[in-house]
Amino acid sequence: MEHPELVEQIRTMLPRHTVGRYDLLPVFSDAALFDRIVRALAAPYRDGVDLVAAPEAIGWILGTALAGRLGAGFLGIRKGGRLPYPPELLTSEYFTDYTGQEKTFEIPAALRLDNRRVLVVDEWIETGAQLQAMCDLLERTGARIVGAACIGLDETPVTARWIRSGWLTCIGTSF
């Protein structure tokens, strides 16, 4: 479900000379707008989430706000090489991002999310590869992914299927 009134307000705040993706930091600086975004993204998941997971760094801004709104815990998913553990104590998931580069997400291998209901959040979804990698990583720990949420996304066959199924909630696709 798109939120045209929020899309229009966000569109007026986005810097127009960015390369490769949108800079949403100006949107986060408007407290009233940010609150409306968080409320809209949280609405479908009330009483259905134990944990919100998001990738560092900008995803953490939106993820922690949603976790607070939902009364859920927060799990930060780290980029490869950032956690202070040897490789054998990590669970890793490799993926190719929207730039074509291979990337890695990691969480501690000891983390068990057995049957916990997890909402996966990112500020923007380009191809869906990063979101899919986070879901795969979390499912390996026993998590039950209940859905995903983002502010915006680039429409691809994968992201369009997620929206049609109701699994992915986003503010808009037309920025």
Q: Which fold has domain 4-12+23-78+114-128+138-172?
A: Rossmann fold (3.40.50)
pLDDT along the chain (175 residues), means of 10: 89 80 90 98 95 96 98 97 94 92 96 97 94 98 97 92 94 83
Model-level pTM?
Answer: 0.94
| Rounded CA separation 69/77 (Å) | 19
| Predicted pLDDT of residue 19 | 66
Tokens standing for 71?
């009364």
| Predicted pLDDT of residue 108 | 96
| Predicted pLDDT of residue 63 | 98
Other beta carbons within 10 angstroms of residue 115's beta carbon come to 9
| Rounded CA separation 33/36 (Å) | 5
| Predicted pLDDT of residue 125 | 93
Q: What are the residue ranges of helices labelled H in 20-117?
A: 25-28, 31-42, 58-70
Residue 123's nearest CA partner among 92, 151, 159, 84 is: 151
DSSP 3-state assignment of 56?
A: coil
Q: Could you tell me the residue ranges of all domains in the chain?
A: 4-12+23-78+114-128+138-172
| Predicted pLDDT of residue 26 | 93
